[in-house]
Structure 1
């Protein structure tokens, strides 16, 4: 909070950016407005980076990325159930990565179309949202594929725990990270839902400022997932292939 340029007699100036966290901004406004009223100090509030009028509570980035992350691990789970959680060869693992990459691009475009032309929230940012969505879906899909590749279908429970049970409240999408309990406060800096949420806000509202870490971290999650899936295929897949019974010889 800064003093107004004209001096203390003209009151105080509070500059906020509600796009970074509308709930935190509202709480700060309420507390300082009450204090200013009680002390008789004029308070002027300027919102330098407001949320769009179509999303007054600033929750669209959160729910959009919840859908992206959910779609990512569900796509991986469906593919794992239908084709086996652990690819038998590195070639099959590569084909699975390629299939999930195509799926991620399509889902990213679908989400961008919904918040763009359909709901008219970010009409001018459709390509940007599509690219961010594809990265978020792919990171979640590869993370889930790696865990399922090593642990089987049972690994889905761990995926849900990390991406949904802890990931959604720890993303800072509904409540600002500063308002979260200590365990969850810094989680948005490394978990996939939080990184996707931060990247969306950085791209849409802040001209890509502070987008470096979320974009890099999501890419690292995707690469780590690819490495985990391929290594699972080389270890568990090869082991399963060598222990599988061979074809029965026809009776002579």
Structure 2
């Protein structure tokens, strides 16, 4: 005869492991809210690097505007100012014509539409205060199918999601920690194949299919492959040491912290200092910068984003292999 024990299912559902995981999910959710709203609720220009061609006194005034929206570097002429923007050493340039009544503002919307608009507002305010006119010239515009230069960010987010979902699937299907180094190496090999295919798919979508970022197919393919491999390898490593909790930590790093600090919707000089400080060191931000540098700035300043992504990839691979030889400690798993 079947004899159900009252409350048995309830006690199982409320096991200590389940409770800890639920609390962890709640904390990640609250972190998501704090991170996104904290980064985006009040964007304002803060220390945007700008080249200035103007008399010394005028350059000093620009550097001391209320709220410090600009960080000014004086240069000799328009050619030098353009070079600083295209070499990714400045985000814009203010060119004052002492003999005329019209100044020129150089911007680069390929680095981010909101930042270019913020520079325009600041420049118009400066010109109005001096009773002058302002001409705005976009010397590195975002593409006609790339509104506000947002495609780079969403491409990177898509690649990242694929990376940590692959790692999560491996953990669920085959266990979070490889039983021996050979199995860890096998996971890395499978991840590498997936990363190459994922990078290829993303490049196909943004180039020949949608024409959002045309003309850079091979470079985007391999940036995507590196990013996906690094994301997946790091997630696999976190799973090897933390079990299923490692998936949550990966989401915390790559999504909760990485997305709002990546320079997608609002660029780094428009968001608060914490997000500005961490963004370029997380694969989300490094990847977004790399894609924009490739597409709009001829690969200038590409070295640092690539190095950041390579370090994450190498660290993930090494830690996964270390986790595969680590002895399993009792009590580390969280029973569901």
What TM-score do the two structures reach when normalised by structure 2?
Answer: 0.68
* Deviation larger for 30-39 or 87-96: 30-39
Any gaps of 5 or more consecutive residues in structure 2?
1-51, 55-94, 331-336
Q: Distance in 2 between matches of 1:236 and 1:26?
A: 55
- The normalised TM-score by structure 1 is 0.89
Asked whether the 8 Å contact 2:234–2:316 carries over to 1, the reply is: yes
- 1:102 — aligned with what? 193
- Is residue 2 from structure 1 mapped to residue 93 from structure 2 by the alignment? no
Q: Name the counterpart of 1:195.
A: 286
How many residues are matched? 239
Alpha-carbon displacement from aligned partner over 1:196-242 (angstroms, at most 9, x marks no partner) = 111111111111110001101111110100111000000046x79xx
Query: 238, 249, 269: which is aligned to 1:158?
Result: 249
- In the alignment, is the contact (CA less than 8 A) between 1:2 and 1:12 conserved in 2? no
Name the SS for the 1:201 alignment partner.
helix
Give SS of 1:15's match.
strand
Q: Distance in 2 between matches of 1:127 and 1:43?
A: 40
The yes-or-no answer on 1:74 pairing with 2:165 is: yes
1 CA distance for matches of 2:147 and 2:297? 17
What's the secondary structure of 1:186's corresponding residue?
helix
> Could you say which structure has the higher helix fraction?
1
Q: Does the 8 A contact of 1:101 with 1:138 survive in 2?
A: yes
Q: Which runs of 4+ in 1 moved over 3 A?
A: 1-8
What is the distance in 2 between the residues matched to 1:189 and 1:86? Answer: 30
CA distance in 1, matches of 2:129, 2:274: 36
Give the alignment's Cα RMSD to 1 decimal. Answer: 1.7
For 2:140, the equivalent position in structure 1 comes to 49
Report the secondary structure of 2:234's partner residue.
helix
Partner of 2:304: 213
Distance 2:98 2:196 in 1: 54
| Matches of 1:124 and 1:176, distance apart in 2 | 24
